[in-house]
């Protein structure tokens, strides 16, 4: 499905360092045609944004288009299976995230073996989750949110980018730790989930910082905390 790590990094690093003529000559070896990068979420989420940034970077340096293909559904399992079933020729890549590791233990009847069928190429990015609320929620800190939610049981909806993925499990862990009653509303990706949060259909979300940072800066969402041990 994808190049060996050493081969891929050698091509990418060489293409970035050599002049244009050498870059074109190297691209004749790989890639000789467009490359698909499959994202298991709908457009607009953090994984999608990162894929489009790295795809453009690779296109400029390797001389072939890196086409982003969104295949949302089943917590990234639909996109992952599409890559597993693609020819193992290096022209179908998969954007892998925490959800893929979670799914390996969450689902007992997958049509693929993630560890055996997918070969890692390179680490691209690391992002913390951020707890964000719609501005209509009066809380400005996590303790205030806990107090307000407990005073209004069952009235809060928690968005996620899909059942079983990292933001869903983070929200469920938060509910367990705080004894808060919130209704989980799964969407088909971070983009649609953020749209629901911005529109007030849901109240809180534990999502990746990449997709929500601009909304936080613009005041359209309020960030209460990050899920890392240090400040962001």
CATH for 108: 3.40.190.150
Reported as a single tens digit per residue, the pLDDT across 111-141 is: 999 989 999 998 888 888 999 999 999 999 9
pLDDT-derived band at 229 (thresholds 50, 70, 90) equals confident
The answer as to whether 122 is a domain residue is no
At 148, which CATH number?
A: 3.40.190.10
d(CA 114, CA 116): 6
Residue in 170, 150, 174 with CA at minimum distance from that of residue 160: 170
DSSP state, residue 4: -
The answer as to whether 32 is a domain residue is yes
pLDDT at position 87 is 94
Residues in the chain: 232
- Percent of the chain residues topping a pLDDT of 70: 88
Residue in 36, 40, 216, 19 with CA at minimum distance from that of residue 130: 216
pLDDT-derived band at 191 (thresholds 50, 70, 90) equals confident
d(CA 128, CA 30): 33
The answer as to whether 18 is a domain residue is yes
The pTM is what?
A: 0.71
pLDDT at position 75 is 82
Total structural domains in the chain? 2
Are 34 and 66 within 8 A, CB to CB? yes
Same domain, 25 and 74: yes
Higher pLDDT, 186 or 127: 186
pLDDT at position 18 is 40
Higher pLDDT, 203 or 8: 203
Reported as a single tens digit per residue, the pLDDT across 150-175 is: 999 888 899 998 888 888 999 999 99
Residue 10 has pLDDT above 70, yes or no: no
Same domain, 75 and 170: no
In terms of residue numbers, what domain contains 106?
A: 5-117
CB atoms under 10 Å from CB of 144, counted, come to 13
Please state the rounded mean pLDDT for residues 196-213.
93
Same domain, 156 and 107: no
């Amino acid at each position: 499905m994808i190049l060996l790590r050493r081969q891929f990094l050698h091509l990418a690093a060489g293409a970035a360092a050599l002049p244009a003529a050498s870059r074109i000559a190297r691209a004749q070896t790989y890639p000789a045609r467009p490359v698909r990068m499959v994202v298991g979420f709908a457009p607009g989420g953090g994984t999608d944004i990162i894929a489009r940034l790295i795809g453009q970077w690779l296109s400029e340096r390797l001389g072939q288009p890196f086409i982003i293909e969104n295949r949302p559904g089943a917590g990234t399992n639909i996109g992952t299976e599409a890559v597993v079933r693609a020819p193992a020729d290096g022209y179908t890549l998969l954007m892998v995230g925490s959800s893929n590791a979670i799914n390996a233990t969450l689902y007992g009847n997958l049509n693929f073996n993630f560890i055996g069928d997918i070969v890692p190429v390179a680490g691209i990015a690391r992002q913390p989750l951020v707890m964000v609320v719609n501005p209509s929620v009066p809380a400005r800190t996590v303790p205030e949110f806990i107090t307000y939610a407990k005073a209004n049981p069952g009235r809060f909806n928690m968005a996620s980018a899909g059942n079983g993925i990292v933001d869903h499990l983070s929200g469920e862990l938060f509910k367990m730790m705080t004894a808060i009653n919130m209704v989980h509303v799964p969407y088909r990706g971070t983009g649609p989930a953020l749209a629901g949060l911005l529109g007030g259909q849901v109240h809180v979300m534990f999502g990746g910082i990449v997709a929500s940072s601009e909304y936080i800066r613009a005041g359209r969402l309020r960030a209460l905390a990050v899920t890392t041990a240090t400040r962001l």
